[in-house]
Homo-oligomer: A and B are copies of this chain.
């Protein structure tokens, strides 16, 4: 018995939903490691970085919700369980314990740089399969590139 039907043919749905599932893991992962850094950051720039990281958390949580619901809307159940994130999340992240402010900035620049690179590949991959999904990935990229720039500007001079 089918559960939620799709509005896409099978091939297109497969391409779109794989892009969405991979993006979901990265957004949820970023929201968790963003909070981790938000709590553990120390150093003279504590307050600025503490607040900036919460903006990353808010943005990634909101996009994760949209991404997961889009996958469901296309008929494929999204997977955001803790074990799935732990296994599939491979972006740079802060280590355990207190994090120096400059290190927090550096790791966010790297994580967001890498995330944007992967998103751009998925933007290409979904162009034919589903322009609606592609449009969502473009919006996420715009936001993560903006966040990346702000950490990078903060990171000067390296």
> Which residues of chain A have a CB within 8 Å of any CB of chain B?
1, 3-5, 7, 28-29, 32-33, 35-36, 39-52, 61, 64-65, 68-74, 77-83, 85-87, 89, 93-94, 96-98, 100, 102, 113, 116-117, 120, 123, 131-132, 134-136, 138-139, 141-142, 145-146, 148-150, 152-154, 156-158
Query: Does B152 contact A39, Cβ atoms closer than 8 Å?
Result: no
A142 with B138: in contact, given A47-B48, A113-B7 (CB under 8 Å)? no
Complex: how many Å from CA A156 to CA B139? 32
* Residue of B7, B65, B153 touching A42 (CB-CB under 8 A): B153
Identity of the chain B residue whose Cβ is nearest the Cβ of A73 in the assembled complex = B149
- Interface residue SS majority, chain A: helix
Query: Does B5 contact A113, Cβ atoms closer than 8 Å?
Result: yes
* Residue of B5, B78, B86, B146 touching A83 (CB-CB under 8 A): B86
* Residue of B40, B46, B86, B148 touching A82 (CB-CB under 8 A): B86
Determine the chain B residues whose CB is within 8 A of the CB of A35 once the complex forms. Answer: 64-65, 68, 80
A74 with B123: in contact, given A4-B42, A42-B3 (CB under 8 Å)? no
Determine the chain B residues whose CB is within 8 A of the CB of A61 once the complex forms. Answer: 61
Complex: how many Å from CA A13 to CA B121? 16
Determine the chain B residues whose CB is within 8 A of the CB of A68 once the complex forms. Answer: 35, 39
* Residue of B7, B78, B85 touching A39 (CB-CB under 8 A): B78
Determine the chain B residues whose CB is within 8 A of the CB of A153 once the complex forms. Answer: 3-4, 41-43, 46, 50, 72
